[in-house]
Amino acid sequence: MCGDALFSSVLSHFASAKVGREKVPASCNEVVEDPAAAVALTGSSSRALDGGRENTAEFTAGAARLERCEGDFPTGQRRSHSTGVGRLTDATPSAAWPPFVSQECRTSVCADPMSDFFPGASLRSQVLAHSLRMTVKPLLGVWAQWPSPLWPAGVIDYAARIVPPLRGVGHRSVRLEHCAAELIDAGNLGNETVVLYLHGGGFLTCGLNTHRRLVARISASAEAAVLSVGYRMMPKHPIRDAIADGVDGYRWLLGQGFEARKIVIAGDSAGGYLTFMTALTLVDLDLPRPAGLVALSPLTDMDPAGKLAHPGAGQCPVFPRSVLTALTGLADQDAHRDATGKPCASPVDGILEGLPPVLIQVGSTEMLYPDAELMAERLAASGVPITFEVWDRQVHVFQAAADLIPEANHAIAQIGNFVRTATTAHTLHSDRSDETVAL
């Protein structure tokens, strides 16, 4: 579901007191106003290649140590400590960190990660969380009681047409084989780098309109054009069709002359699920792998049991517990709409070896935190370079509220850093990235 994304976008727009805030930020210094709360768990796994060892620590450290933005934080806010699996060499974390997020959650993702901890959430982010808890969460609870396909889910994306685009950002319509798409350009269309973006919305709602401002900010931060895909959704189409549309978007970019080593696939929530499933499908189709993957608050496990059992499940300011069971129930029904009869696959259960570097961002109190953490662990165990950022008490896909909360701007700056690093780290790509592809 993405009512929170629309709510955040509308609230962010009307909360902007200065016209200048409507502009696409040109640098990190323009957007970071308050200390952001984040834990960057940087995976420094090593992989065996041709009998040797390829160390990936340099890539992940460059993507996650906040070198571009750490100067914006007051002295004393930054705490760094070298960690190993399940241990801290520093003192116990700040009490501001939610008690249900254990030390192991923050330190067991990779062997020998580097952790940068920024405690606390800004007042504005706390106000946003309270607003969502009082508005969006009850509405989603009502939907979960009657998760009928008769709900007018398309109204949300239609209503988002009233949200004005960011000034100075161009966009043009693109028609893929089975769905619409949009090429967003924040003045970077001439660059070689491009992002393929898959929006969230529980496979049911949202679209190009709800995510246009977020995508535009990512375009500016990454210094890259973005192809936003309006993929087919339930209940009219199975989730497999959405994955196929993601692959079609990737093929379209290759057909436009973009090299795979310059393409990053990104998505939020259900779009995070599609990001990983699209990447895994590219492997199955023997297409060249992209330069990197970015997942914001991703859904990675179609089994709701782990999320519902997590100690922090009740603290999510957006999703009531009932939403998970309702959504997975719809997905299970949807899974049998085609001839295969197979249930929806979970990215965490996929063969992850060989995937490109990954950035995952998630709020510490949101319902999908266990999914993000589990995916980070599975990626690290598979030898995939993983940068795992946990943002203290931030709401689901808080990056959509970039006009309103400083943490969102900082997170988007991190995404830009990751995209630029991934698309220039040529040594991390296999020879398959340079192969000629028949489209």
Across 291-304, average pLDDT: 96
Among the listed residues 180, 235, 184, the one whose alpha carbon sits nearest the alpha carbon of residue 212: 184
Q: Are 134 and 315 a contacting pair, CB within 8 Å? A: no
CB atoms within 10 A of CB 383: 19
Q: CB-based contacts of 193: which residues, under 8 Å, 6+ apart?
A: 222, 223, 224, 225, 262, 263, 264, 419, 420, 423
Rounded distance, CA 267 to CA 8, Å?
A: 17
Give per-residue pLDDT as tens, 341-376.
Answer: 667 899 999 999 999 999 999 999 999 999 999 999
Rounded distance, CA 17 to CA 20, Å?
A: 9
Give per-residue pLDDT as tens, 51-60.
Answer: 333 333 333 3
pLDDT band for 340, please (50, 70, 90 cuts): low
Mean pLDDT for the chain? 75
Structure tokens given for 12: 């962010």
Across 235-254, average pLDDT: 96
Among the listed residues 422, 312, 419, the one whose alpha carbon sits nearest the alpha carbon of residue 368: 312
Assess whether pLDDT exceeds 80 at residue 35. no
Give per-residue pLDDT as tens, 388-432.
Answer: 999 999 999 999 999 999 999 999 999 999 999 999 975 344 444
Across 252-269, average pLDDT: 98
pLDDT band for 29, please (50, 70, 90 cuts): very low
Amino acid in position 427: T
Across 246-253, average pLDDT: 99
Q: Please list, residue by residue across 101-126, b when 16 or more beta carbons sit within 10 angstroms of its beta carbon and e when fewer do.
A: beeebbbbbbeebbbbbbbbbbebbb
What integer pLDDT is reported at residue 15 of this predicted model? 46
Q: Which helix (H) or strand (E) holds 370?
A: helix 369-381
Among the listed residues 117, 109, 114, 56, the one whose alpha carbon sits nearest the alpha carbon of residue 85: 109
User: What residues are labeled active site?
Assistant: 269
* CATH fold for the domain made of 3-16+26-427: Rossmann fold (3.40.50)
